[in-house]
Structures are given as C-alpha cells and as structure tokens.
Amino acid sequence: MSSSGREQFGSSLTYIMAMAGSAIGLGNIWRFPYMVGEHGGGAFIIAYIICGLFLAVPCFICEAMIGRRGRRDVYGSFEHLAPGTKWKWMGGVSVLASFIIVSFYCVVGGWSLDFLVRSLSGHLSQGDPEAAAGVFQRMASGTIEPISMYVAFLLATAIIVVGGVKKGIERFTKITTPLLFFLMVAMVIYSVSLPGAMAGVKYLLQPDISKLDASGWACALGQAFFSMSLGMGTVLVYSSFMKKEDSILKGGLWTAVSDTVFAIIAGFAIMPAVFSAGIEPTAGPSLVYETLPYIFAKMGAEAPVLSFVMTVVFFLAILSAALTSSISMLEVCIEHAVHRFGCKRWTAAVVFLIPILALGVPCVLSFGGLSGFKIFGLTVFDLCDYLSSNVLMTLGALAFALFVGWYMKKDDVRDELTNGGTLGLSGKAFKPLYFFIRWVVPPAIIIIFVSTLV
C-alpha cells in the first residue's frame, strides 16, 4: 500500500490533542480510581507514576516512532520497516487486543450514556444520597437497558470512525476535554468538603508501601499502558498521520502529563466521596459509578439546579472523552482491514461489529445474568479487562520497545527521534533514552510481568 497522499494531522497541536483525546478517557475516570482502591491507595499512585514516567513514556516514543517511520497501519508499518520478518504479525496481535478492549470498554461507555439519560431526567441529581449507590447496581444488573446502551455507544463509535480520522477526531477533542477538566476540578473541591471525606484524602496522600505487592506493580504498569493507550497500535496508527517536522518526544511527554493529571484529579474527585459514602474502596469496576450518584445526590440536596446542570454536563463530557478513546481503538481494526484487504471503511466497521457484539454482550451481562459465570475466577468482563492491560498491552509495548531498541538501526532511531538532527532537545535526550529503551525498559517489563505469574 502506498504511503503517498496519506492524510496528516494539521499541526503538532492537533496531534497532541488527538493523542490526549485517545489517552484521556474512562481509563482515567473509571479505571484509575478503582485500581487505586484495589491496591492500597497512595502507594499505587506512586507505583503508577514511576511506571508511567520510566516505562510508559519510553514505550510511547517507541510505538510512535514505528508509526511515523512506517506511515501505515500496524501490519504495514512492520512490513515496511522489517521486510520479510515475522514482526508484521504484531499487526494481528494489535487487532486482537483492540478488539478485546473495545468490546469491554463500550460496556463502561454504555453506563456513561445511561447515566447521561438519567441525569437529563433529573433522576441522578435529585435522589436520596443514601440510596444512590443502588442506582448503578439496578441498572447494570439488568439486561435490555445496559445492552441497548452498549449497542448505542458502540454504534456511535463506529459512525465516527467511518467518518475518517481527521473529520471524526479533530472536531470532538477540542471542546470537551478542557470542559471535563474544569468539571473534575470542581468535583474535587466538592468531594473533599463532604463529611468524612478526609479519610479518603489521607488514603491517597499517606501511602502504605507495604500494601504494594507484585500484583500491585503489574496493575500499575498495566494501568499506565492502558491510560496512555499503549501497546496495541493506537499510538502507532495515530503517529502514522503525524508530520515529519513534529517532535515525538514532545508528543509523548504532553500525552503523559495531561493523562496523569486527569487520572490524579479523578482519584481526588472520587476517593474522598467513597469514604464519605461508606462505599468499599475495593469495590472494583463498579466503584466510580456507585460513587458518582452519591456525589450528585448530595449536591442536589443543597443546590438542585446547579447539581442538575453539573450532572448533565459532566456525563456529556465523560461520554465524549470515552468516545475519543473508543474511536482510537476501533481505528486500529479499521486501518488494518482497509490496508490489508482493501475494503471500504464502512464495510470494515460492519465486519468488526459482529465479533465485538458477540464478546461485548457477555461483558455487559457480567454485572447481571452472567455474574456467576467465571473463567479463571473472573467474569467475562474482568477477564477481558485483565487480559488486555496486564497481558496483551504489556507484551505489545514490550515488543515495540524491543523492535526500536534491538531491531532498528541506531542511526534510524536517532533520525526519527530528532527529525534528522533538527531537534536540539531530543538530540540531548537521545543517548539516555536509547540506553533506557535497550537496557531498562524490556527487563523491567519482563520482571514485573513474570513476577505476577509466579
């Protein structure tokens, strides 16, 4: 497939906005707080920041480099950069991982849509705070309602993706991400002021390092990769649309910083309210959706109109953050089908929707009719969640790092990072970064990965 005439992001800001749009999503608002709750609070945050800075950022740079140099989908980029080798199989692995992630991610996207509908009817902002946690349980354990919301969210994702990368993505990210940021900050302030919330603040700020075991580290690494959309081709495919003059290092750092700030703010918006409401921090995937109705109902008891507006705008913003992430996953699948089989984007979307639905519906029902159905002790939803971040993405990111560190020529890596020697800062960063990519990143990922198996 020729790379000439390939669409490009208009500017480096647009690239960063699109990357941040993919990175900032339910991973920050829904997944991060529940991971923090499951792995001992502040200690997990420290592990997460270490993994993010020292492992996820270098892995981001590797994946972006392969995409921009390859200028194709995952399969095509590897075929182009390593002709005649098995590296191109990474294309298949990426499609598999994206497919699994999109299948369960849309479940949480569907919950957000459901909550938006409920907030429009005033249902969330005017209820009884004590009964609020039950709203989620009743909704998620149903059948028709969560499945229809799932399908609606998935269809919205597919429709945006088929619209094309530029049109689809650029329009979305610009307004809603800053909006979400301000709403979350407001929620931190409110959440911290709730009765009993200080226990939650302490939980986040006084890390108990003894709580951090091998599984905590593995989950911190998996969360860092999940949150930065790493290891399964999203960064690669987006970067294939990146201009030659833009800085990969800058893209990686900006994505990491904005993504981490969002996650930590979400932690501080949710955890104090968890303690105030008396919800178990270890509740798992349901944690945030049990806590949010409590926050909004409390707010509604004091200022009903404000709470109503805030709830509607908040879920609208979450929904759009979730969509800019889910489109980035489906994009990997669609790019693959278009480049490998030359089919139209909409044909590819229709073809992928069938298996996604087949896996997605059992994921939805994992909170209801299928909650007792377990594989390796996990529900279908939990298995997809675990398998994708802790196994597929971790191994995917490792493969990308090995490719850049050990397969690509050093001069090519330097050329790509510094844009042919024109970027001073990246030039200075090259030596330590290259050393890191070769000697620190792969062993660290392997050690963390293997320690959880043992």
DSSP-based three-state secondary structure for 208: coil
Which two structure tokens, joined as six digits, stand for 56? Answer: 């996820």
Interface with ligand TRP by CB under 6 A: which range of 204-212, 222-230, 347-355, 419-427?
A: 222-230
Binding residue (CB under 6 A) for ligand TRP from 77, 119, 173, 227: 227
Q: Are 323 and 18 in contact (CB under 8 A)?
A: no
Q: Which residues contact 332 (CB under 8 A, 6 or more apart)?
A: 73, 74, 94, 95, 98, 232, 233, 234, 237
Per CB under 6 A, does 22 bind ligand TRP?
Answer: yes
Per CB under 6 A, 265 contacts ligand TRP: no
Cβ-contact 363, 103 below 8 angstroms: yes
Residue number with CB closer to ligand TRP (355 or 443): 355
Q: How many helices (H) and strands (E) does the chain have?
A: 23, 0
Residue 334 binds ligand TRP, judged by CB under 6 A: no
Of positions 17, 23, 221, 266, contacts ligand TRP by CB under 6 A: 23
Residue 255 as a binder of ligand TRP (CB under 6 A): the answer is: no
Q: How many CB atoms lie within 10 A of CB 380?
A: 23
Q: Give SS3 for 452.
A: helix
Q: Which is nearer to ligand TRP, 390 or 426 (CB)?
A: 390
For residue 324, the minimal CB distance to ligand TRP (Å) is 8
Q: Which of 43, 219, 329, 337 binds ligand TRP (CB under 6 A)?
A: 329
Q: Exactly one of 77, 103, 328, 390 binds ligand TRP (CB under 6 A); which one? A: 328
CA dihedral 378, 227, 65, 451 (to 10 degrees): -50
Closest separation in Å from C-beta 261 to ligand TRP:
13
442, 405 Cβ separation under 8 angstroms: yes
Name residue 436's amino acid. Answer: F
Given a contact cutoff of 8 angstroms between Cβ atoms, the answer to whether 273 and 194 are in contact is yes
State the binding string over 75-114 for ligand TRP (x if CB under 6 A, else -).
Answer: --------------------------x-------------
Please select the residue that binds ligand TRP; options are 18, 20, 21, 25, rule is CB under 6 A.
25
Contact call for residue 337 and ligand TRP (CB under 6 A): no
Site for ligand TRP in 229-248 (CB under 6 A): 229, 232, 234
DSSP reduced 3-state for 240: coil
- The residues in 380-419 that bind ligand TRP, with binding defined as CB under 6 A, are 393
CB of 226 to ligand TRP, least distance (A): 5
In angstroms, the CA 367 to CA 362 distance is 9
Token output for 247: 């800085």
CA end-to-end span of the chain: 44
Residues that bind ligand TRP (CB under 6 A): 22-23, 25-28, 101, 226-227, 229, 232, 234, 325, 328-329, 393
